């Protein structure tokens, strides 16, 4: 079940350094939200707080409130491992497990968790996830080959298949196309619009056209001076953001008049 | 401009391909002739002179015909090759000596008999008790130090922060430099404290070897674990895999090939230790299968003892050395097979 996300008064720290300040954000279920902004303004940092990956970094902590489907992610007794099963993530650089075959990479969420799965269920899950990631046709004849034998774009789609195989309700993507050619990028963008039917998607991108193409809403993060924390300047419908944003900074950034 | 230089370079004159061979033959001939003038040529002197003559002639020739860049290249090539040859001399001659002298007594019966009832200049007898002893003691040392080393390395890489981790790293560094005799005395003192001064057993030697082996295992495993990209850990976390399963199934699995190699190097490092075994496990001329009771013979101590006795013993010492080298080679081969099995497949 896809679920909405509510973020209130979120402050994100690396040790004493406040990287992101005072974020309030409302994300509807079954929508695609694009996050844009200059390098270093805290987009990745923010994204990683949505599935509690932020605290993996030593000294990193969070203040504020994040709710997914009404549950406070940072509430008492919430297990970060359970959160991450519910909120999948695709990273900027494709990172398939090098010791695993293509099929095993897709099944990683099951196998690494020592969950038993029958052979036919496993085959089903592999096919369903790879079809979901638009990769099935290309790899169906070589499922037992290592994941690293694929091209960069195929690897990224393999990572998407791996993420959706655990059937999360939210999918986070951190610049999923930054290392890809236009054709693979297009394939992934098409994929995102299909996946929207079943997941709530948040995507970080540096590509304005991409944000305009794939997203329903766009959020703009900015950082005023180096050393200051990044802030969410505004978030609105993508069409509005790209035609007449309410903030001057957004307009400057989108039209390339930055700095 | 550039095009012109390139053209000139392409058309530059080269020495014919057989020139180095001719120069080499000439240098060798001259060097032999010079050598035979004196009191009969010695091989190292002739070779050294030939190499120097070869280098100088080829450099001068090449500089005149091909220009300074190619001449320098040839000189560097000769220097690198000579260094390689120099480094190979001790290696090859060591293997040669061990094999040629070791083979005198090396036989099936050497590998299958012990030294009971062998005295004087009898050439019978063998080292099976020492082989078994070495395998038992080293195996027990590995059983102790592999888990300790592996878990310490995992702690340092995956969990350790702050002063405790720094203290452990420092202690490991110190332990790496411990002289082996100190490890032997430590094990001896430890067991004397617990079981009294008369206690002797293979396990004492195993503890001494484990003291030497553990820091090596920690260091090499630590290095291997640090090579595992953080992205893979994060990929596993993002799939909802708990940290300990991530370590077991992703980090250790990805580093497995390197870990196996590192552990084998650590085994090879201690399997030839003599001093700590001499003062803990002692020696014996017959088989002892019990690690926890009584003295035991080991290959290095066997070699030492036989060499000290002189006579046929010297041949036995060489045969034991050959056996030891063969064991280490077999272990290396095994490690290679295992790590090939674990290695990430490229395609
Ligand atoms: N592991 C870390 N430890 C300390 N500070 C960090 C860490 N990761 C990021 N930061 C800091 O947090 C701030 C935000 O970084 P972040 O990676 O979120 O930026 P970003 O918006 O994703 O940039 P980019 O578009 O280049 O990916 C930066 O100032 C960065 O230096
Ligand atoms: Mg980023």
The sign of the dihedral angle between the CA atoms of B213, B218, B221, B224 is negative
What residues are paired with A170 via a beta bridge? A87, A200
Average pLDDT (A244-256) is 88
The domain spans of chain B are: 3-102, 128-342
Q: Look up the ipTM and state it.
A: 0.91
Closest ligand 1 atom to residue A48 Cα is 18
B346 vs A190, more confident: A190
Least confident of A2-16, A166-180, B64-78, B333-347: B333-347
User: Which of A53, A60, A97, A167 is the mutation pick for testing B, counting most B CBs within 10 A?
Assistant: A97
Q: CB-based contact (8 Å) between A58 and chain B?
A: yes
The domain spans of chain A are: 5-254
Indicate the average pLDDT of chain B.
91
| pLDDT tens readout for residues A93-144 | 899 999 999 999 999 999 998 888 999 999 999 999 998 888 999 999 999 9
* CA-wise closest residue to B205 among B146, B148, B145, B138: B138
Judged against a pLDDT cut of 90, whether residue B132 lies above it is answered with yes
Average pLDDT (B55-60) is 93
Q: Is the CB of A40 under 6 A from ligand 1?
A: yes
Is B347's CB within 8 Å of A145's CB?
yes
Smallest CA–CA distance, residue B252 to chain A, in Å, is 11
What pLDDT does residue A259 have?
A: 47
CATH entry 3.40.50.300 includes domain A5-254 = yes
For strands A71-72 and A60-68, give the pairing.
antiparallel
Among the bound ligands, the one closest to the CA of A20: 1
Fold of B128-342: MetI-like fold (1.10.3720)
pTM: 0.85
Judged against a pLDDT cut of 60, whether residue B207 lies above it is answered with yes
Angle formed at CA B142 by CA B138 and CA B144, multiple of 5 degrees: 120
Residue B16's pLDDT band, with cuts at 50, 70 and 90, is confident
| pLDDT tens readout for residues B303-336 | 999 999 988 999 999 999 999 999 999 999 999 9
Average pLDDT (B257-278) is 93
Residue nearest to atom 24 of ligand 1 (CA): A39
| pLDDT tens readout for residues B226-245 | 999 999 999 999 999 999 99
What pLDDT does residue A181 have?
A: 81
What pLDDT does residue B45 have?
A: 86
Average pLDDT (B97-118) is 91
Is B344's CB within 8 Å of A146's CB?
yes
Judged against a pLDDT cut of 90, whether residue A159 lies above it is answered with yes
Q: Which residues surround ligand 2, an ion (CB under 5 A)?
A: A 44
């Amino acid at each position: 079940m896809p679920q909405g996300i509510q973020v209130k008064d979120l402050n994100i720290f690396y040790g004493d350094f406040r990287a992101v300040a005072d974020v309030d954000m409302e994300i509807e279920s079954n929508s695609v939200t694009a996050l844009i902004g200059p390098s270093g303004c805290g987009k990745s940092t923010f994204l990683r707080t949505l599935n509690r990956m932020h605290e993996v970094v030593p000294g990193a902590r969070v203040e504020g409130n994040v709710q997914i489907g009404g549950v406070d992610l940072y509430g008492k007794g919430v297990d970060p491992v359970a959160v991450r099963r519910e909120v999948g993530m695709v990273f900027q650089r494709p990172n398939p497990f090098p010791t695993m075959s293509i099929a095993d990479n897709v099944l990683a969420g099951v196998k690494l968790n020592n969950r038993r799965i029958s052979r036919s269920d496993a085959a089903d899950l592999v096919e369903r996830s790879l079809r979901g990631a638009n990769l099935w046709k290309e790899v169906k004849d070589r499922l037992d080959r290592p994941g690293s034998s694929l091209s960069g774009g195929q690897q990224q789609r393999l990572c998407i298949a791996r993420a959706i195989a655990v059937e999360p309700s939210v999918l986070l993507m951190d610049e999923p196309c930054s290392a890809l050619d236009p054709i693979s990028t297009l394939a992934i963008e098409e994929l995102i619009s299909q996946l929207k039917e079943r997941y709530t998607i948040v995507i970080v991108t540096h590509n304005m056209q991409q944000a305009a193409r794939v997203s329903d809403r766009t959020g703009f993060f900015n950082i005023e001076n180096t050393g200051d924390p990044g802030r969410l300047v505004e978030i609105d419908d993508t069409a509005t953001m790209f035609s007449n944003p309410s903030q001057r900074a957004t307009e400057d950034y989108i039209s390339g008049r930055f700095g | 401009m550039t095009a012109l230089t390139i053209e000139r370079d392409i058309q530059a004159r080269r020495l014919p391909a057989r020139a180095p061979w001719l120069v080499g033959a000439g240098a060798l001939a001259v060097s032999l002739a010079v050598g035979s003038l004196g009191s009969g040529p010695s091989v190292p002197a002739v070779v050294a002179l030939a190499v120097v003559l070869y280098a100088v002639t080829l450099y001068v020739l090449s500089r005149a015909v091909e220009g300074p860049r190619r001449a320098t290249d040839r000189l560097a090539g000769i220097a690198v090759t000579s260094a390689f040859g120099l480094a190979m001399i001790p290696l090859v001659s060591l293997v040669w000596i061990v094999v040629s002298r070791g083979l005198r007594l090396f036989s099936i019966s050497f590998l299958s008999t012990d030294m009971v009832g062998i005295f004087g200049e009898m050439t019978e007898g063998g080292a099976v008790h020492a082989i078994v002893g070495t395998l038992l003691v080293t195996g027990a040392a590995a059983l102790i130090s592999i888990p300790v080393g592996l878990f310490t390395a995992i702690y340092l890489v995956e969990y350790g922060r702050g002063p405790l981790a720094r203290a452990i790293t420092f202690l490991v560094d110190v332990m790496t430099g411990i002289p082996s005799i100190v490890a032997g005395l430590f094990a001896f003192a430890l067991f004397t404290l617990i079981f009294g001064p008369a206690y002797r057993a293979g396990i004492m030697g195993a503890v001494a070897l484990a003291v030497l082996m553990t820091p090596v295992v920690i260091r090499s495993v630590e290095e291997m674990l640090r090579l595992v990209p953080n992205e893979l850990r994060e990929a596993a976390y993002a799939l909802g895999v708990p940290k300990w399963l991530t370590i077991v199934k992703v980090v250790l699995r990805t580093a497995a090939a390197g870990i196996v190699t590192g552990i084998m190097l650590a085994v090879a490092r201690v399997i030839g230790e003599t001093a700590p075994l001499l003062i803990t496990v002692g020696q014996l001329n017959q088989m002892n299968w019990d690690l926890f009771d009584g003295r035991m013979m080991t290959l290095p101590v066997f070699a030492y003892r036989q060499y000290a006795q002189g006579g046929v013993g010297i041949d036995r010492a060489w045969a034991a050395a050959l056996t030891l080298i063969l064991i280490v080679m077999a272990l290396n081969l095994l490690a290679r097979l295992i790590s090939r099995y674990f290695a990430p497949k490229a395609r």
